[in-house]
Amino acid sequence: MNAKVYSIQGEPVRDIELADGVFGCKVSRGSIYYAIRNELANRRQGTASTKTRAEVKGSGAKPWAQKGTGHARAGHKRSPLWGGGGLIFGPRPRDYSYTIPKKVKRLAMRSILSMKVSEERLKVVEDFTVESGRTKDLLSILSKLGDGERSVLILGGEDGMVRRAGRNLPWLTFLSYNRLSAHDLYYGRSIILLETAARKLNDFYPGTESEAEHAAR
């Protein structure tokens, strides 16, 4: 499939060939769901923690006699039934991360890219940089390319000056062509794809499908 390449002034300058297997494949919503769910789970810190009756501060002595006091039976002050006692089945530090098949991840990325192309939310832009590293200079370029609302800029390599210029823009996310995020891509309203990144994506994600990929659907 062919797509327009836009200049930093927002004008079409030439065409580029995009792989149908990456930017024009059938959308697999199941793989998108699994990929986003996996990314959000891997981001969880899992540091929530509570103390059990063995960890809270308090005496282990029996508060009063078992019988004859009129009180309910009590073994120690650290009981979960007492104020300041331990907690039963409270949250403990844990690891929420898990892995999904690589083919499902790749299918999800291709599906999201294809979806954005069909929705006309993906724009291929000629390579540019911000030599000054100033946010003002980057904003002047982005204002002609996107709507300024939850935009994603996909780079073809590591450009520290561009990242420096946009690191204080809360609505802009930087992604590398070889480290895409299904969550950021799916919820991005405007995808700006640099020309070099587009050419590399044509080869980075294979366009063939297998039985495992069909199962993710």
Are 21 and 118 within one domain? yes
Are 125 and 189 within one domain? yes
d(CA 108, CA 33): 8
pLDDT at 128: 93
Are 70 and 160 within one domain? no
37 inside domain = no
Of 170, 162, 154, nearest to 204 by C-alpha is 154
pLDDT at 1: 87
34 inside domain = no
Are 152 and 57 within one domain? no
Are 24 and 63 within one domain? no
Are 6 and 78 within one domain? no
38 inside domain = no
Are 14 and 118 within one domain? yes
pLDDT at 16: 94
Structure tokens at 56: 């809270």
Structure tokens at 113: 């890219």
What's the structural domain count of the chain?
Answer: 2
Are 17 and 60 within one domain? no
Residue 140 CA from chain centroid, whole number: 27
pLDDT tens for the chain, 217 residues: list them. Answer: 899 999 999 899 999 999 999 999 999 999 999 999 999 999 999 999 999 999 999 998 999 999 999 999 999 999 999 999 999 999 999 999 999 999 999 999 999 999 999 999 999 999 999 999 999 999 999 988 876 789 999 998 888 899 999 999 999 999 999 999 999 999 999 999 999 999 999 988 865 454 344 444 5
What count of other Cβ atoms lies within 10 Å of the Cβ of residue 21?
Answer: 15
Measured CA angle at 106 (ends 105, 111), to 5 deg: 100
User: Locate tokens 């792989």: which residue?
Assistant: 19
pLDDT at 211: 39
Are 137 and 203 within one domain? yes
193 inside domain = yes
Are 113 and 145 within one domain? yes
pLDDT at 206: 64
Which of 95, 116, 137 is where one domain is finished? 95
Range of the domain at 129: 2-29+101-216
36 inside domain = no
The partner residues of 195 in beta bridges, in order of sequence, read: none
d(CA 55, CA 67): 28
pLDDT at 207: 53
150 inside domain = yes
Are 62 and 112 within one domain? no
pLDDT at 38: 98
Are 189 and 132 within one domain? yes
